A and B are shown apart, each in its own frame.
Chain A
Amino acid sequence: MLKFIIRRLTFSIPVLLGILLVTFTLARAIPGDPCLAVLGERATKDICESFFRRNGLDQPAPVQLLIYIRNFLQGDLGESMRFHRPVMELLVDRLPTTVELGFFALLFAISVGVPIGVLSAYRHKSAIDVGTMIGANIGVSMPVFWLGLMLAYLFAVLLKDTPFALPPSGRLTPGASPAPFYLVQGLVAEGEEPLGILRFLSRINTLNAILTLNGELLVDALRHLILPAVAVGTIPLAIIARMSRSSVLEVLSQDYVRTARAKGLREHVVVGKHALKNAMLPVITVIGLNFGLVISGAVLTETIFSLTGVGRTLVDSITSRDYTLVQGFTVVIAAGFVLINMVVDILYGYLDPRIRFN
């Protein structure tokens, strides 16, 4: 197993280097002068020269690349040209929104998708099966941004005065500023600068609410999350449901399932213990692959629901030519994607020994 993990880790290194190279090149290929974009059209030549020197942009490209890789390995993503703050700090600020959204979107997709997929395989060719598959087909065909807007209209306008009404924008009710858990729990003294990781965790509202035992905040955060999470999660849900269905169908026709039934095992043991365990392997891979969809969905959904997450910040920064931010955010997202796929692969190798030895 250790050998398998090491082999898988080694595979990821060239890809990570490739990502660094590509983001570096992409960020520099964005047309327009970064100096004019950041400092405004009236910046003089002298001011621009000192701006370039300060940001290392006067060095030849290969030197810039090397500096960039060295800094990246040290966790330094540079300073955002637009916000005049370290990119890492901005990431700590904004990534929690996207992580929270992505987590609940996937949670929704898995907790609904897997059961309906399994059910429709178990009741193959029944009305449930046909209905689920029609629904899944419609689900994968749905534009995320359209679904988000329609959900917002349905729950914020049509159901406005009913108990089902949900807020169409923001992360919390306007005006709410919850105390971070590290202050409430006395981990950090008032006025002291907390560690980045504590700040990061405290910005995940639902987690912060649980850690501060604030039920009201938890409900508020969840109510704001439902619509965007459903919008982002619908396409993954449909894919996961289809995958679970075909995977369970295949397993149910295997000899060992027939043997289990022939032994007289109860049906729920046959399905739950023998079939499901094996059927879930490909489903895990699909869940890992859906991370990309979640990020793409987050870019669109954050725009619709006015959430200041990574996706929306990134799109805004591309238009304002904030090289360092674009570079930093893209690299972290892509590296995260590679990392998640690696974890999925390793998990897969752990669950299915045949993969490890192949």
Chain B
Amino acid sequence: MANSAPASLSSSDNYRSANLWLEALRNLRHSPSALLGSAVIGALVIIAVFAPFFATHDPLQTMIGVPGETGRLPSKPPCVPILGCKDPQHILGLDLNARDLYSRVIYGTRTSLSVGVITISLSIIAGTALGITAGYMGGTVDNVIMRLMDVVLAFPALLLAISIVTILGPGLTNALLGITITFIPQYARLSRASVLSIKEQEFVIAEQALGASPLRIVLAHILPNAITPIIVQGTLGVGTAILDAAALSFLGLGAQPPTPEWGQILSESRNYLFTSPHLVFFPGFAIMITVLGFNLLGDGMRDALDPRLNRN
């Protein structure tokens, strides 16, 4: 008897949440911004996974001394054969080290997408763990954790990331860690708020009375109820994380040459802005499209997953 109550409770919960997800998916299908966002992200994922098929050259290969190559920047890229370009070898031209820019931008998709997703996943895990602990334990633990989060939030994000990367040393992994830390408080606050609103509800008190462990209560009841706003925030966060990572690389603190990373490609060519603007334009445009994709999807998801908005 003691076991059947929570079991039936959680199964009815699952039933409800499954419906909620189905409904959210249905809503997502009707949201133009979510559809467009998913299409953009889908295309970028395909490009990242099959980068060797899309790229025309090795992104690290310099074209000097290669047979059939002049090793010079084409005068007017982009050079697309259908548009009547005579030299279709290098669609976006060569960068300053005579590497194929198009292939570097294509491979850059891999770096940016993985940085965005890994950063946000790590900060969601850490932030949610901290937020749930704070909300569930309350008292001093809550106070200490949340004041710490306040302090982290008191620093402008990029500035804190820069300071952390300086201590850890420049590099993509450290940039990723630095950005992760700046994102943690958002998820801690969100999950703590959800815990506070859920932990006083009768079904949770009933579980506690039946002797369920705190871990079970958190995993079976609190987490599923708190996850929606975190997913929405997370999707929007991927875009911001990609922007931050690119900014760090631009300042020379993130990805190091010759890694093909959009911010880094931009940083290398920025002094040639006035003579070869295309070197700056394309990597930046790639960053913008990617971030736009995640922002559109996040917006669509917020509309689809928030029942309060649906009523309106």
B-contacting residues of A (Cβ < 8 Å)?
Answer: 14-15, 18-19, 21-22, 26, 29-31, 137-138, 140-147, 149-150, 152-153, 156-157, 253, 291-293, 295-296, 299-300, 303-304, 314-315, 318-319, 326, 330, 333-334, 337-338
B162 interfacial contact with A, CB 8 Å = yes
Say which residue of A141, A156, A304 sits within 8 Å of B292 (CB atoms): A141
Chain B, 110-140, CB within 8 A of any chain A CB: none
**B155 and A330 within 8 A (CB):** yes
**What's the Cα separation between A155 and B134 when bound, in Å?**
51
**B284 and A19 within 8 A (CB):** no
In the bound complex, residues from chain A placing their C-beta under 8 Å from that of B164 are 26
**What's the Cα separation between A293 and B243 when bound, in Å?**
12
**What's the Cα separation between A138 and B291 when bound, in Å?**
9
B294 to chain A, nearest CB (A): 8
Please give me the residue from chain B that is nearest to A144 by CB atom: B247
Secondary structure of the B side of the interface?
A: helix
Please give me the residue from chain A that is nearest to B239 by CB atom: A141
Say which residue of B167, B277, B281, B287 sits within 8 Å of A30 (CB atoms): B167
B151 interfacial contact with A, CB 8 Å = yes
Which of the candidate stretches B72-80, B194-202, B225-233, B266-274 sits at the interface with the other chain?
B266-274
B45 interfacial contact with A, CB 8 Å = no
B250 interfacial contact with A, CB 8 Å = yes
**B273 and A149 within 8 A (CB):** yes
A-contacting residues of B (Cβ < 8 Å)?
Answer: 33, 147-148, 150-151, 154-159, 162-164, 166-167, 169, 239, 243, 246-247, 250-251, 263, 266, 270, 273-274, 277, 280-281, 283-285, 287-289, 291-292, 295-296, 299, 312
Q: Which of A18, A143, A150, A293 counts the most chain B CB atoms within 10 A?
A: A143
Say which residue of B157, B250, B292 sits within 8 Å of A145 (CB atoms): B250
Please give me the residue from chain A that is nearest to B236 by CB atom: A140
In the bound complex, residues from chain A placing their C-beta under 8 Å from that of B284 are 143, 145-147, 149-150
**B281 and A150 within 8 A (CB):** yes
**B247 and A143 within 8 A (CB):** yes
A327 to chain B, nearest CB (A): 10
Secondary structure of the A side of the interface?
A: helix
In the bound complex, residues from chain B placing their C-beta under 8 Å from that of A295 are 156, 158-159
Please give me the residue from chain B that is nearest to A145 by CB atom: B250
Say which residue of B33, B156, B243, B312 sits within 8 Å of A253 (CB atoms): B312
In the bound complex, residues from chain B placing their C-beta under 8 Å from that of A142 are 288, 291
**B166 and A30 within 8 A (CB):** yes
B104 to chain A, nearest CB (A): 16
Given A15-B154, A142-B288, A143-B247, the answer on whether A157 and B280 have CB atoms closer than 8 Å is no
**What's the Cα separation between A144 and B277 when bound, in Å?**
16
In the bound complex, residues from chain A placing their C-beta under 8 Å from that of B270 are 145, 149, 304
**B247 and A333 within 8 A (CB):** no
A326 to chain B, nearest CB (A): 7
